Amino acid sequence: MIFGMVISGCGQKEMDEKAFTIDLINEEFPEAKQEVLETFGAIAQSIKDGDIDKLISYHAYGPKFTEFKGGALRNGGVANEEHERNVFGSVTEVIKFDAKDLQIAVYGDVANLTFHSDFHLMFGEDLAIVNDQITLLFVKTSDGWKMVHEHHSPLAVE
């Protein structure tokens, strides 16, 4: 009888965990979604303002941070920060910073933001147009939503 109760208890725990997982997948989390959207807007504003330290503050750099960019091998936080400081620190003007087909999916304290970029950035006299598929993975921290992964791939179809 005790064995049956233990087995029954384990089965209930597994069912509860499955229900919890399904809730995380299906729940919309509208307040968290709005927070992530506002964080993304603040990231964009930091780029437009040329405030690189502010931009960097939206990253959770550490041993788990990863980035994929343009088909190159994965890099980590040190390489990402260096790249962001070099590239966005060299932008002299943001002509256009559109995120098309923006989607935010929140799973509790984790959020996935995807979009197609249409960025027109000036580097002195040179215009760079960035049309990529971008994924930003966020984790909610005590300091707000922070990026823990970025993925940038060229957009093949516009």
Q: What is the mean pLDDT of each run of 10 residues along the chain (158 residues)?
A: 48 67 86 98 97 98 96 97 97 98 97 98 98 98 98 87
Task: Read off the CATH number of the domain in which 69 is found.
Answer: 3.10.450.50
Domain holding 142, by residue range, is 29-154
- pLDDT for res 6: 44
Residue 6 lies in a domain: no
Looking at the structure of the chain, the number of domains it has is 1
Rounded Cα distance between 130 and 116, Å, is 9
Rounded Cα distance between 145 and 15, Å, is 30
Residue 106 lies in a domain: yes
- pLDDT for res 3: 44
Q: Is the C-alpha dihedral spanning 53, 55, 61, 66 positive or negative?
A: negative
